[in-house]
Amino acid sequence: MATVKRRKRPGWIAEFGWRHLVAVAVLVFGLVPILYVVSAAFNPKGTLSATSLLPTDFSLVSFDRLFSDPNIPFASWFANSLMIAVPAAFISILISSLAAYAFSRFRFRGRRPMLLFLLLIQMFPAFLSVVALYLIFGAIGEFYPVAGLNTKLGLMLVYMGGALGVSTWLMKGFFDTIPKELDEAATIDGASHAQIFFGMILPLAAPIIAISGILAFVGTMNDFILASLFLTDRPEMTLAVGLKTLTADNSPASYFGIFAAGTLLTSILTVAVFMSLQRYIVSGLTGGAVKG
């Protein structure tokens, strides 16, 4: 017994010790900025110089100013971001799931080239042609002021342009795993292709729809380049553009705490979503890994 015990100790270090060491070291790196944001958000002074890594004091001043300062329309920014990102994610998922269904269940001419083309398009983010988009929407705005520059609708249309590229492949891969026999049975029962898609495939593919939707939502929330170009009026800005103005060089020093508070409130939304769907996210990403 005694010899076994003695042998077990070095075994534990070789077996598990280094693993914990690595994990803790990486976690320190990973969590320090987040801890810093929390510390800054609850700091009563809210300036960069007064903020340390560990919170020294507790105050809700920054959160209060976030909603009371007329110069910081945080609530509008938040609402704008949601008003753009939620419909954009919803429509883009609808559009790409439609396409994924066609690619998964039908064989038609041009199918393979189109699939390859979508893979290629994925590599070209919309903002690469930002100059052209700017000119195009300037022209659109002259005819249709509701969809020109400085409008939410215009920005959403740009996001829609990339809808097909984002998740068609991921969804097609998932649709392929749903047995075709189910379709055939439904067809024999008299279901139309639309009924099969909306009534059967979509509900069965709920996990992948959820993941694609969240990734599209988060991607839209994080967009800065297009949003900053399209939305220039202060109350019309999204969170990304608006929060950036708080850290600009000419902003008052105390805006840092307000910015940190805004960051925390923004992240509550995304963190909650990620945490609740953790398992799906891992499998979704690796699914993407196999399918490119």
Partner 1 sequence: MLDQRAQTAGSTTAAGQITKIAVLAAVAALAVWAALPLIGARAWWGLAVEAAVVAIVFYTYLQRRSIPLKYLVPGTLLLIAFQIAPVVMTAGTSFSNYGDGHRTDKDGAIEAIIAAGVQQTSGGANYRLAVGESASGELTLLLTDTADGSTWAGTEEGLTELDGATVDASGAITAAPGYTVWDLAELNERQAELAELAVPTGPETGIKVQGLSAFEGTSTRSYDEGCDCITDSETGTVWYADNEEGSFLTEDGQAALVGWRVNIGFDNYLSVITDPDIRGPFLGVFAWNVMFAAGSVLFTFVIGLGTAMALNKPSMRGTKVYRTLMILPYAMPSFAMLLVWAQMFNRDYGLVNELFGLSVNWYGETWAARAMVLIANTWLGWPYMFLISLGALQALPTDSLEAAKIDGATGVTAFRKITLPLLLIALTPLLISSFAFNFNNFNAIQLLSGGNPFPAGESVGGTDLLITYAFRQAFGATTADYGFASAVSVFIFLIVATISAVMFRTTRSQEDVY
Of 143, 169, 141, nearest to 154 by C-alpha is: 141
Question: Nearest approach, Cβ of 90 to partner 1 (angstroms)?
Answer: 13
Cα separation of 43 and 206, whole Å? 42
Cα separation of 27 and 85, whole Å? 30
C-alpha dihedral over 137, 142, 146, 147, to 10 degrees? -20
Question: Nearest approach, Cβ of 68 to partner 1 (angstroms)?
Answer: 21
Nearer to partner 1, 75 or 282 (CB): 282
Question: Nearest approach, Cβ of 6 to partner 1 (angstroms)?
Answer: 21
Nearer to partner 1, 47 or 59 (CB): 47
Cα separation of 243 and 259, whole Å? 6
Question: Nearest approach, Cβ of 248 to partner 1 (angstroms)?
Answer: 10
- Specify whether the CB–CB gap between 96 and 139 falls below 8 A: no
- Specify whether the CB–CB gap between 243 and 262 falls below 8 A: yes
Question: Nearest approach, Cβ of 2 to partner 1 (angstroms)?
Answer: 24
Question: Nearest approach, Cβ of 86 to partner 1 (angstroms)?
Answer: 15
Question: Nearest approach, Cβ of 217 to partner 1 (angstroms)?
Answer: 11
CA gyration radius, the chain:
25
Nearer to partner 1, 2 or 225 (CB): 225
Nearer to partner 1, 65 or 287 (CB): 287
Of 102, 96, 68, nearest to 209 by C-alpha is: 96
| Other CB atoms within 10 A of residue 129 CB | 14
Q: Tell me the helices (H) and strands (E) count for the chain, helix number first.
A: 16, 0
Which residue has tokens 């988009």? 133
Nearer to partner 1, 48 or 61 (CB): 48
Nearer to partner 1, 60 or 271 (CB): 271
| Other CB atoms within 10 A of residue 119 CB | 14
